[in-house]
Amino acid sequence: MFDTFAEWDVSVSDSVTIHGRSGGEGPPVVLLHGHPRTHTTWYRVAPQLAEAGLTVVCPDLRGYGRSAKPDPDENHEVYCDRAMAADIVALMRSLGHRRFAVVGHDRGSYVAYRTALDHPDSVSRLGVLDSVPILEALERAGTKFATAWWHWFFLGASPHAERVITADPLAWYRPNEKAMGRENYLDMTRAVADPATVRAMLEDYRAGLTVDRAHDEADRAAQRVISCPTLVAWSVRDDMEDLYGDPAGIWRSWVSGELTSARIESGHHMAEENPDQLSETLVRFLR
């Protein structure tokens, strides 16, 4: 796994060190994982992008995997997407990249589009996978969404979530070693066995329901949009189309630049379930 990639721990602030891997040569792209994965979810995609002539950076987001897990604050700002986006910009600059593409899946997509909104001079291209903006999702959170995505509200609002998950993380997450690949599985399960990781991941969801939503509301009111070329891709065997019809249509009001869409023949964890189609899609977009 990641045989030709360098592994590192990079300090991005006084309290946060980011763990991850990078490899390849060419235009830089940073890949951001979702919940409850770590950077190793990209182990079958990253090498293909590197072989296609890209420099590929795969970090563990703040609080996830082996990255730092600072103490939360009452307003959930420590784990908000704005804070995580600042981590990514600092990380990429430490690695020598002042302008780069950013691609995020699931929770990582929220960090990705926040990076594009807050740091437009740093982001050359944006890819969002299996998501719509948090504000848009919450405004559409009717019975269908609340029934299918109940975990958003349990993780983000229940005072019992941490106790329930830490009692038996593998029973809660039910990871499939065969589908994930052994090393990826071990990296993820080691992470979720740490109560500090569980606490941090819950803070990510708590921020999503509060401060991240407020940041989206402020951007929309100020008519701030994403100016770089943007790829919106989703898994056809997930529920994105059932919930939103055409997810790219929701993104159009948030993007002033060129917008491209793609349907990936996969379930939710597309980087693990259909890495070849995802890699081809990303290479076409990034090159």
199 vs 236: CA distance, rounded Å:
31
- The stretches of 52-210 forming alpha helices (DSSP H) are 81-94, 107-118, 134-139, 143-148, 150-157, 161-167, 169-173, 177-180, 182-192, 195-209
Q: How crowded is the C-beta side of 264, counted as CA atoms within 13 Å?
A: 30
Classify residue 70 by its DSSP letter: P
Question: pTM, whole model, 2 decimals?
Answer: 0.98
Tokens 């990255």 map to which residue?
67
Q: Which of 119, 238, 239, 268 is catalytic?
A: 268
pLDDT, one tens digit for every residue, the chain (287 residues): 899 999 999 999 999 999 999 999 999 999 999 999 999 999 999 999 999 999 999 999 999 999 999 999 999 999 999 999 999 999 999 999 999 999 999 999 999 999 999 999 999 999 999 999 999 999 999 999 999 999 999 999 999 999 999 999 999 999 999 999 999 999 999 999 999 999 999 999 999 999 999 999 999 999 999 999 999 999 999 999 999 999 999 999 999 999 999 999 999 999 999 999 999 999 999 98
Active site annotation includes 268: yes
130 vs 245: CA distance, rounded Å:
13
In 185-212, which positions are buried (b, 16+ CB within 10 angstroms) versus exposed (e)? bebbbebbeeeebbbbbbbbbbbbbbbb
> In the chain, where are the structural domains located?
6-286
94 vs 133: CA distance, rounded Å:
28
Active site annotation includes 121: no
Two structure tokens written together for 228: 């770089």
233 vs 230: CA distance, rounded Å:
10
Q: Which of 106, 130, 212, 216 is catalytic?
A: 106
Going by CATH, does the domain composed of 6-286 fall within 3.20.20.10?
no
